[in-house]
A = this chain, B = another copy of it.
Amino acid sequence: MRNGSSVPLRVRRLGLHTQKQAVAVMRTDCHVCRSEGLSARSQLVISTADRSIQAELLQVESALLAENQIGLSEAAWTLLGVGEGDEVRIGHAFPPSSLRHVRARLFGSRFSRADLDDIIRDVIAGRYTDVHLSSFLTATAAAPLDEQETISLTGAMMSAGDRLEWGEQVVVDKHCIGGLPGNRTTPIVVAIVAACGLMMPKTSSRAITSPAGTADTMETMTDVELDISRIRRVVEEEGGCIVWGGAVHLSPADDVFVRIERELDIDVEGQMIASVLSKKVAAGSSHVVIDIPVGPTAKIRDTRTADALAARMEAIGQHFGLFVSCIQTDGSQPVGRGIGPALEAYDVMAVLSNETDAPEDLRARAVRLAGLVLEMGGAAAKGVGPALALQTLRSGKAWEKFQRICEAQGGMRTPPRSRHQFVVEAAAGGVVSALDNRAIARVARLAGAPRSAAAGIRMLVRLDETVERGQPLLQIHAETAGELGYAHEFAERSAPLVRLK
């Protein structure tokens, strides 16, 4: 980047919200724009004495700005760290030079580690526009990253972020590759495993294409945006935590990719593996269990694909000294009843507190995963893990541990309840023959999840259940009438969420 033009401008905070995209607004008749050859939607560099950021330029005709002013969006304001009226200089932004690696790969070459270091550096610096980011991710979806490239991307993403160390030989972790609505085992597994004495500092992500990520669900019960020193304190006290990974910058490029993948509604395998493993290694984990749900409408459709993914993840983990163990689970229908941050939180609490009507499938999955983590981490002999896990749950020790973790993270709170609901009823009697995970997740998202914490779906039937005409199949929850209508409209127009025969 250049240091910018010779004529300084004074910044003005516009209170303009643009998510993470830095935006600058200048006057169309601004002489600095003219002399720099900048026009609307140009990328420009804005510099103070000690910081430079890249931003997208918008222009206004009106007298909103004085002659020598540049307006900044909230994201630009924060990144640049300025005060009202401070002087900045601007200049053209060089197109990111690492884009040539993306172009070369489109035409058949492979990424080297150095290429990916360049790309990740430019992405984190905000030099990739949405067009560039989408092209990078699409290129790696169209011609998947090979094993060496995935190792390189993992390394590049990891090196770009912070790295935690715990002073323990064994630090366990678990991860689910997603695609299965309501599969919220993590809070239960962490509570069981930490109650059994293993260290499990869990950093979770927010939803990518799903209605809720673990971080979204946990946030309805306690704070999840903790800095590193607070995470350390929680883990030292309780042996475990369940926090949002983005707040600790373990793999800062990941959030940028997530936003684009969400807009494209795709998950890119190589990027997904790199994203998961870079965060596990950076989080200081030594052993990780990975849950791969398999089913006709899950993210992974068949066992062969799941086997290949498992082999790839285990090999790449090994490269970074991380023991990875993958298990395939049933992905034919949503897990538990709730889908959406708060609705899933209620399921988690029901299982942990041994409520009589707690969803049995969620309990069974959590026990199976926790058992494997306990065995892998040396807290249970081979084959004995699940029994220990179940006992820890039944005894109330897991529930006690979970409440202590929430208290340590900032206090436990009650998840919100939605203001609007709509019940979808069976148009005819029959047996539930299929549940469409993708369509169910889509409707939950349209209802506002994960942005609206109380929004989502509550499933009222499961596979093979016999239902009568008019029987409620599911309930859509939303925080606003607009969103409820939108989700309901989509559900009516799409293929049936619940198929009867």
Contacts and interface: CB of A to CB of B under 8 A. Distances in A.
Interface of A: 2, 5, 14-19, 21, 23, 25, 28, 34-37, 39-41, 58-62, 64, 91-92, 94-95, 99, 103, 106-107, 129-135, 137-139, 141-143, 260, 263-266, 446, 448, 451-452, 478-483, 486, 489-490
The 3 closest A-B pairs by CB, nearest first: A15-B61, A142-B142, A134-B134
Nearest to A23: B58
Contacts of A36: 480, 482-483, 486
Contact of A130 (B37, B106, B131, B451): B131
A130 B39 CA distance: 18
B60 A106 contact: no
Contacts of A60: 14-17
A16 B58 CA distance: 7
A486 B2 contact: yes
A140 to B, nearest CB: 9
B61 A480 contact: no
Contacts of A28: 15, 17
Contacts of A483: 36-37, 92
Contacts of A265: 95, 99, 103
Nearest to A61: B15
A493 to B, nearest CB: 9
Contacts of A141: 106-107, 139
Contacts of A260: 131
Q: Determine which residue in A14, A17, A139, A483 has the highest number of CB atoms from chain B within 10 A of its CB, and name it.
A: A17
A134 B106 CA distance: 13
A305 B435 CA distance: 49
B35 A91 contact: no
Given A18-B58, A37-B479, 14 more contacts: A15-B61, A15-B62, A17-B28, A18-B40, A19-B40, A23-B58, A34-B480, A36-B483, A37-B486, A92-B482, A106-B138, A106-B142, A107-B141, A142-B142
Nearest to A263: B131
A130 B138 CA distance: 13
B15 A264 contact: no
B264 A132 contact: yes
26 contacts: A2-B489, A5-B482, A14-B62, A15-B60, A16-B58, A16-B60, A17-B28, A17-B40, A21-B41, A36-B486, A64-B64, A91-B482, A92-B482, A95-B265, A99-B264, A107-B141, A129-B130, A129-B263, A130-B134, A131-B131, A131-B260, A132-B264, A135-B264, A138-B142, A142-B142, A143-B143
A104 B482 CA distance: 30
Contacts of A486: 2, 36-37, 91-92
Contacts of A25: 16
A425 to B, nearest CB: 24
A451 B483 CA distance: 43
Contacts of A39: 17, 451
A17 B61 contact: yes
Nearest to A73: B58
Contact of A138 (B37, B135, B446): B135
Contacts of A481: 35
Contacts of A446: 92
Contacts of A139: 138, 141-142
A480 B34 CA distance: 7
Contacts of A23: 58
Contact of A134 (B95, B131, B142): B131
Q: Determine which residue in A19, A131, A452, A479 has the highest number of CB atoms from chain B within 10 A of its CB, and name it.
A: A131
Nearest to A62: B15
B61 A41 contact: no
Nearest to A92: B486
A143 B140 CA distance: 12
Nearest to A95: B265
Contacts of A94: 490
A262 to B, nearest CB: 9
Contacts of A14: 60, 62
A366 B25 CA distance: 45
A351 B142 CA distance: 47
A481 to B, nearest CB: 6
A263 B59 CA distance: 19
B131 A452 contact: no
